[in-house]
A and B are shown apart, each in its own frame.
Chain A
Amino acid sequence: MVEILRYAGQALAYALFAAGIGYFSTSPAHVVRREGDAVVKLAVTHAGRLAQPCRARSPEELARLAPNMRTPLDCPRERSPVEIRLELDGEPLYSAQVPPAGLARDGVSSVYRRFTVPHGVHRVRAALKDHLDLAEFNFTTDAEVTLAPGDVLVIDFQPAHGGFVLR
């Protein structure tokens, strides 16, 4: 009798463990977004312009350099941060000066942001300038988009395609 109870106890212990594993491997469900919400993703990867323009070396400077280093132009590697702004229905969603990557600050400026917005019709304006000395944003877009619940709007930046690409 004791043996039977022991085996029953073992079966119960295994069953409880299995039930716990089985339940929590899928439940409770995680709510990722509220009903009616849509998502806007801003993704920019762009190298800013060189922070300083190239400068012509003087003959004296060139003479001081080793023969194999005598390039006529001195071009610093550092790039300018990229300034990005994103507005939704006239309200600012994102605004930042994104620094270039790398220890020498000569890499690309990258930003990725995800925003949850209500579904419906929205006015999206995005702007980018790839040198802080520029007076105006040299890449802009202004579009009206319609987002259904759960839709993802990607605002990508592809200079080869003229700048911002909304899809």
Chain B
Amino acid sequence: MRVLLAMLERGFDRIFGAANNPLHHLGALAFLFFWIVLASGIYLYLFFETSTAGAFRSVEYLTHEQWYAGGVMRSLHRYASDAMVVAALLHLVREFVLDRFRGFRWFSWVTGVPLLWLIFISGVNGYWLVWDRLAQYVAVAASEWLDWLGIFGQPIARNFLDQAVVSDRFFTLLVFLHIGVPLFLLAFSWLHVSRISRPRTLPPRALVIGATFMLLTLALWKPALSQGPADLDTVPAAVALDWFLLGGLPLLDAWGPGALWALAGGLTLLLILLPWLAPRRRPPVAVVDPPNCNGCGLCFADCPYAAVTMQPHPLRSGHRVAIVDPDLCASCGICAGACPSSTPFRSASELVTGIDMPQLSIHALREKLRDALAREQGEGAVVVFGCDHAVDVRALAQPGVAAFSLLCTAQLPPSFVDYALRHGADGVLVTGCKAADCHYRLGNTWVEQRLAGARQPHLRTHAARARVRIAWAGPADGAALRRALADYRAALRASASEAAPGSARTRGGAAHG
């Protein structure tokens, strides 16, 4: 599954670029489609008549008399709803395949499950409002499905026995539901992203434009139409079904309501329990050392999961100290990379930083870097910093190349780049997950900003900045990364040979790979 996904994503990377790859923004795309549904729904509501005869009539008016506005809005409403279903389901599958559903991520996963139900309920409820032949089928099928539960005083299906019993007040209730349920959907969406900081709820501008234009074109090319007024005194032979939102209803005829409840309930339960069915060994979480924490708040600002908070310092009056919530900590080490105390230039033999990862401490990283720099020096000598969730950079190690795999690339304090360049490395190659697809959400963004001097802590010198190359590469991009490394080393050698002796390290290749 992962290989297939990697191949698919590589194809999309080529077409859209990694930063605009729609597969990297499925959750944000679902949000975008929701906003389109909401905006178009508000317009439709202005003209909708909440009565048995008026419902169909008003939708027909919007579709035909006002096709240039109301008709387009109706089509956008439908197609954006369908696209939201697709985006949400793909988002679920991708997170599962990439093993992003358990451990510290359980909350986001579990709160995502009710969203699927709320989308389904909103969709079914919305199709009732049109009150055409499809609405008639949906109303009868859905109410019979609900009645099987036996929790209602009287069967809901009684409301759809025949034309005579359908009341105008029932449409008022349906409209109320069609506003209320999407509001719940919005509230749960907020809950879904509440445990992460800086959630991406809008895709990049290029995708917003592309997706909106696509839906608009589809709306004009194939306008959403009604299927004749509902007539409960007869049963239509066939209906044109929206399989995205209503695809489960035909199973009622094939299996019966009990079996469909068993399937839907079983799947829901399975999805909810999934994070605990295959629990992952919990890696050590970040540890704060109060004597070395000056309360600067950089770790608090960079934590992608809001696991760090700032509290009054226990040792220094008037100062703050970082506190890590172990339940929220993703063990990514981004906080250690943000800590200004994480500098290898400190003279202490035992380098203790303000916030650190027990499994790969800043001290251990400095010792490894020192050992490597003692071996690899001179023209074309490159230190590679990568992460455990992208290409395994340890396979790149060779004469002249020292490679370090970090918990996340953003665990790298920029001062380590300065340190490597000052102690013998000719260049530093930084790699990790692809743009907009960091395993820990924000790691590669923070690294780019830190190395560009746009985010604290940043590289201290422009000279060092000129000798760093960034080459993001997903887990399946090993060959591309090897080529990038070879090109970089060749550029470093060429630069050194063109320059006067001793000046090579101030003129090395410096680009975004």
Instruction: Please give the residue numbers on chain A whose beta carbons come within 8 Å of chain B beta carbons, in ascending order.
Output: 6, 9-10, 13-15, 17-18, 20-22, 24-33, 35, 37-39, 41, 43, 45, 101, 107-108, 110-112, 114, 149-152, 154, 156, 167
Asked whether A150 and B234 contact (CB < 8 A) given A25-B82, A107-B153, A110-B153, the answer is: yes
Partner-binding segment picked from B12-20, B40-48, B363-371, B376-384: B12-20
Q: Is the CB of B221 within 8 A of A32?
A: no
Question: Assuming A21-B218, A25-B79, what are 6 further A-B pairs, CB within 8 angstroms?
Answer: A24-B82, A24-B244, A25-B243, A30-B137, A32-B236, A43-B158
5 nearest CB pairs, A to B: A9-B15, A112-B155, A26-B240, A30-B241, A14-B214
Instruction: Give 6 A-B contacts (CB < 8 Å), ordered by A residue.
Output: A9-B15, A24-B242, A25-B224, A32-B237, A152-B162, A167-B164
Q: How far is the CB of A147 from chain B (nearest CB, A)?
A: 10
Of B140, B161, B249, which one neighbours A154 at CB under 8 angstroms? B161
Given that A14-B214, A21-B218 are contacting pairs, would A32 and B162 also be in contact in the complex, using a CB cutoff of 8 Å?
no
User: What chain B residues lie within 8 Å of A151 (beta carbons)?
Assistant: 233-235
Contact assessment for A24 and B243 in the assembled complex, using a CB-CB cutoff below 8 Å = yes
Give chain B residues whose Cβ lies under 8 Å from the Cβ of A10.
15-16, 210
Contacts of A14 in B (CB 8 A): 210-211, 213-214
Nearest-CB residue, chain A, relative to B221:
A22
Contact between B144 and A114 (Cβ–Cβ < 8 Å)? yes
Check if A21 sits within 8 Å of B82, measured CB to CB.
yes
| Nearest CB on B from A19, distance (A) | 8
Inter-chain contacts of B140 with A (CB < 8 A):
114
Q: Verify B78–A25 contact, CB threshold 8 A.
A: yes
Choose one: A21, A37, A150; the contact of B86 (CB below 8 Å). Answer: A21
Least CB distance, B409 to chain A, in whole angstroms: 26
Whether A13 and B15, one on each chain, are in contact in the complex, defined by CB atoms closer than 8 angstroms, is: yes
Interface residues on B, range: 35 or more
**Chain A: minimal CB distance from B134 (Å):** 9
* Chain A residue with the shortest CB-CB distance to B206: A10
Inter-chain contact A108/B153, CB cutoff 8 Å: yes
Contacts of B233 in A (CB 8 A): 151-152
Complex Cα distance, B222 from A151, in Å, reads 32
Q: Across the two chains, which residue of chain A brings its CB closest to B249?
A: A30
In whole angstroms, what is the CA distance A80 to B289 when docked? 73
> Given A6-B15, A152-B162, A154-B162, do A32 and B239 touch, yes or no (CB 8 Å)?
yes
**Which A residues are in CB contact (< 8 Å) with B317?**
none
Contact residues of B with A, CB < 8 Å? 12, 14-17, 22, 78-79, 82-83, 86, 137, 140, 144, 147, 153-155, 157-158, 161-162, 164, 210-211, 213-215, 217-218, 221-222, 224, 232-244, 249-250, 253
Contact A21 B83 (CB under 8 A): yes
* Residues of chain B contacted by A15 (CB below 8 angstroms): 214
Q: Which chain B residues lie closer than 8 Å to A21 at the CB level? A: 79, 82-83, 86, 218, 244
Residues of B contacting A32 in the complex (Cβ-Cβ under 8 angstroms): 137, 235-239, 253
Contact partner of A108 (CB less than 8 A), chosen from B144, B154, B238, is B154
Q: How far does the Cβ of B25 sit from chain A's closest Cβ, in whole Å? A: 13
A43 and B155 contacting across the interface, CB-CB below 8 Å: yes
Q: Report Cα–Cα, A14/B12, bound state, in Å.
A: 12
A88 to B137, CA, bound (A): 25
Complex Cα distance, B233 from A41, in Å, reads 11
Q: Would you give the shortest CB distance from A108 to chain B, in whole angstroms?
A: 7
Cβ contacts under 8 Å, A156 to chain B: 161
The chain A residue with its CB closest to the CB of B236 is A32
What residues of chain B lie closer than 8 Å to A167, measured between beta carbons? Answer: 162, 164
Is A110 in contact with B155, judged by CB distance below 8 angstroms?
yes
Report chain A residues within 8 Å CB of B22. Answer: 13
> Once the chains are docked, how many angstroms separate the CA of A151 from the CA of B238?
14
Given contacts A35-B237, A112-B155, A152-B235, A25 and B162 within 8 Å (CB-CB): no
A155's closest neighbor in chain B, by CB?
B161
B244:A150 contact, CB within 8 angstroms: no
Residue in B closest to A31 when the chains form the complex, CB atoms: B238
* B380 shortest CB reach to chain A, Å: 29
* Pairwise interchain contact B147-A27, C-beta atoms closer than 8 A: no
B14 near A30 with CB under 8 A, answer: no
Q: In the complex, what distance in Å separates the CA atom of A13 from the CA atom of B211?
A: 11
In the bound assembly, the distance between CA atoms of A135 and B250 in angstroms comes to: 42
Interface contact B79-A30, CB-CB below 8 Å: no
A30 to B136 alpha-carbon distance, docked (Å): 13
Closest residue on chain B to residue A41 by CB atoms: B161
When the two chains form their complex, are residues A25 and B244 in contact, meaning their CB atoms are under 8 A apart?
A: yes
Contact at B238–A26, with CB atoms within 8 Å? no
Say whether, besides A156-B161, A167-B164, A33 and B155 are in contact (CB < 8 Å).
no
Query: Across the interface, which residues of A come within 8 angstroms of B236, CB to CB?
Result: 32-33, 150
Query: In the complex the two chains form, what is the Cα distance from A18 to B221 in whole Å?
Result: 10
- Contact between A29 and B238, CB atoms less than 8 A apart: yes
A26 and B241 contact, CB distance less than 8 A: yes
Closest to B156 in A: A112
Interchain CA distance A167-B86 in the complex, whole Å: 43
Q: How far is the CA of A18 from the CA of B22 in the complex (A)?
A: 14
Are A18 and B218 closer than 8 Å at their CB atoms?
Answer: yes
* Distance, CA A24 to CA B86, complexed state (A): 11
Contacts of A17 in B (CB 8 A): 83, 86, 214
Q: Which residue from chain B places its CB closest to the CB of A156 in the assembled complex?
A: B161
Quick one: closest A residue to B150, CB to CB? A101
CA distance A110 to B239 in the complex (A): 30
Contact of B242 with A26 in the complex, beta carbons under 8 Å: yes
Cα–Cα, bound, A102→B234 (Å): 34
In the bound assembly, the distance between CA atoms of A28 and B17 in angstroms comes to 35
For residue B164, which residues in chain A have a CB less than 8 angstroms away from its CB? 167
Given the complex, which residues of B lie within 8 Å of A43, measured CB to CB?
A: 155, 157-158, 161
Q: Which residue of A lies closest to B245 (CB)?
A: A25
